[in-house]
Each structure stands twice: as structure tokens, then as C-alpha cells.
Amino acid sequence: MAGRELTHLTEVTFSPDRTKLVASEACRRAGLGPAGMVLLRHQTNAVYRLTTAPVVVKVVRPGIKHTDDVVKLVRWLAEQDVPTVPLLDIEQPMHVAGCAVTLWRYLPQDQAVSAADIAQPLLSLHSLKTVPFALPKLDALGMIRHSIEASTIISDDERAVLEEFFNDVCDRLQFVETSGPRLIHGDPQHRNTLWDNDAQGAVLCDWESAVFGPVEWDLVTIEVHSRRFGFDPEEYRQFCQLYGRDVREWAGYEVLKDLRELRMITTNARKSAQGTPQAAEVHRRIAQLGESSDSRWFII
């Protein structure tokens, strides 16, 4: 089926049955066989692994508009020796059915990535002095506000809880002093890092969230994921040692931690469908807002 015959996807119709058709069309344009492709992940984006070649196909959610810049950025980062998963050397991104599609080299995952493995790639990224691209600036408040308004799974009571927590964070945020803006990954964490056997080290992936912002945003993201998703605390201690900083010792940590967790909750509230396990986890997290920050979350 030709790409022009595919119905354009929207936030609502971004489902596995639709994205598989988009990924298949992109493969055909690249001269690759889509038969037997395997779905790896379907949340922010749809990610498929080909069985006919060592390739991963990423179908980007329709609302994400700057994929052309992401491709330029990743290729430039590789030139700067920042550890990143490599793109295929073809013209990218493709545009199919209203979605941008990118193709990447598949890296077999023979070992789990720990927080400590992320330290050196992230430090390499944060050490860059200049970036020859006009990427967006971090707008966590705007994204949270949009997600609260756009979610179709939360009740009026839950929306009120989120808005109250959001307003409280906004009030406290105005007194926080962060470092100056620089290129940050935007969402560095275990699932956005891969092990590269050839390089004998971890590489960063999923660059759609890359923005100009304070490094504390990346650092608190690592801390939140390590704490909330049940990873060994020793691994996070090793991350801090290797990176050279523990964000928990920073005066603005509590505020940015609350902001980051709220962003995670509301983003999933916007992306999850009613009646799914993902929606159930969103409701559970909202019910826990304001309680112990050590309670376990489950990956969705």
C-alpha cells in the first residue's frame, strides 16, 4: 500500500495496527523487508525491530514536529564523539501518513543498562560548549498544562488534584536557581540508553526530547527513574560518583523533583487509553501525589 493511501495518524489513532502499516511503508521506501517485524515499544513513539536486517524503525507520534532537527543533531553528536545510537546512512526522516519515521542500527541488548552506565554518555553531552542548531527550549510547565487539559482518562477530581499540585510547584519554582541553558537530552533514563557491544559502553537514544535547558533537568530525571522504578540505590550512587554530582545535594532538588514527576504523570495521562493498564497506573500515581516519594512506580 502506497504511503499516500494511508490515512494520516492523529494522537487518537496512534495505535499499533496503524503504526505497523506506517513502519512497513517506510521500510519499503528504504529497500528493507518489513515481514515479521517485532514491536518493541508503543508509548511516546512506536518502535519496531526488523527481523530481515539489524534495523530499528521508529514511528514518531504526530504531535512531535522537529524530527528533522533530531536527525541533524544525532549525526552531529556522532561527529562530536557523544555516545549515541547510530542512524542508518540514508535520507531521513521519512514522512508517512502524517508521521515522521526514522531508521536506526539495531543494537542487541545482551546486558541490562544501569544508572552508572549512563553517567559518561550524559557527561559527554553536557560538556558540549556550542551547538549549531536551533532546538526548542525546555518548557516543562507548558507541556504539563497541555497534558492536563488534553487527557481523556482523568476524572474532574483527579484534574483538580493535578492542577493544585501544579500551581504549588509553580509557586516554588520561581525561587529556584538552575545552571544556564545548554544542550540536554531531556529524558535520559534506563530505557533511553542502550548497550553497544562494539563500543563496549552505553549510548544514548530517543533524542526527541532534546532541548536547551538546565542540566539539573537531566540529572533529576535519572534520580527519579532510579528511585521510583526500583533500581538498586547503589547504582545511582555510582552514577553520581562517575558524573561528579549528586543532584539531591542541590538546593532546588525538591522542587525540580516534584516538577519532573508531575511531568511524567501528566504525559502518561495524555497518552494512555481508558481502561488500559497504563491508565490504571496513572490513576494510582495521582492518588499518591503528596505522599511518600519512595513509593514504587511501574513502567508504562
* Proportion of the chain above pLDDT 70, given as a percent: 98
Question: Would you tell me how many other CB atoms lie within 10 Å of the CB of residue 17?
Answer: 7
Say how far apart CA 8 and CA 99 lie, in whole Å: 8
In the chain, how many H helices and how many E strands? 9, 9
47 vs 65, which has greater pLDDT?
A: 47
Q: What's the pLDDT at 3?
A: 41
**pTM reported for the whole predicted model:** 0.93
Specify the pLDDT at position 1: 42
Please state the rounded mean pLDDT for residues 177-205.
Answer: 95
Question: Higher pLDDT residue, 12 or 18?
Answer: 18
Residue keyed to cell 526500583:
230
**Residue 70 half-sphere exposure, CB side, CA atoms within 13 Å?**
27
pLDDT (tens digit, 9 = 90+) per residue, 225-282? 999 999 999 999 999 999 999 999 999 999 999 999 999 999 999 989 899 999 999 9
Whether residue 200 has pLDDT greater than 60: yes
3-class secondary-structure state, position 31: coil
Report yes or no: 48 and 41 within 8 Å, Cβ to Cβ: no
Query: Quick one: what percent of the chain has pLDDT higher than 90?
Result: 87
Closest Cα to residue 196, out of 125, 76, 104?
104
Q: What mean pLDDT, rounded, does the chain reach?
A: 94
Q: Which residue has the cell 549512563?
A: 118
Q: What is the mean pLDDT of residues 116-133?
A: 95
What is the pLDDT at residue 274? Answer: 93
> Phi and psi of 34, rounded to 5°?
-85, -5
Q: Can you tell me the distance from the alpha carbon of 281 to that of 276, in angstroms, rounded to the nearest whole number?
A: 9
DSSP three-state, residue 98: coil
Per residue in 82-109, pLDDT (tens digit) is 999 999 999 999 999 999 999 999 999 9
pLDDT value at residue 5: 63
What is the pLDDT at residue 2?
43
pLDDT at 34 over 60: yes
CB atoms within 10 A of CB 99: 27
Q: What is the Cα 260 distance to its own chain's centre?
A: 12
Neighbouring residues of 258: CB distance < 8 A, sequence distance ≥ 6: 165, 169, 172
- Which strands make up the sheet holding 99-105, listed edge to edge? 38-42, 46-49, 55-59, 99-105, 94-96
CB 99, CB 118: distance < 8 Å: no
The number of beta carbons lying within 10 Å of the beta carbon of residue 295 is 11
Q: Given this model, what pLDDT does residue 290 score?
A: 83
pLDDT of residue 4: 45
In whole angstroms, how large is the CA radius of gyration of the chain? 19
| pLDDT tens digits, one per residue of 205-222 | 999 999 999 999 999 999
Please return the burial class of 1, using the count of CB atoms within 10 Å of its CB with bins 0-12, 13-18 and 19+. exposed
| Structural domains of the chain in order of their starting residue, each with its CATH number | 3-105 (3.30.200.20), 115-288 (3.90.1200.10)
Q: Is the peptide bond before 108 cis (omega within 30 degrees of 0)?
A: no
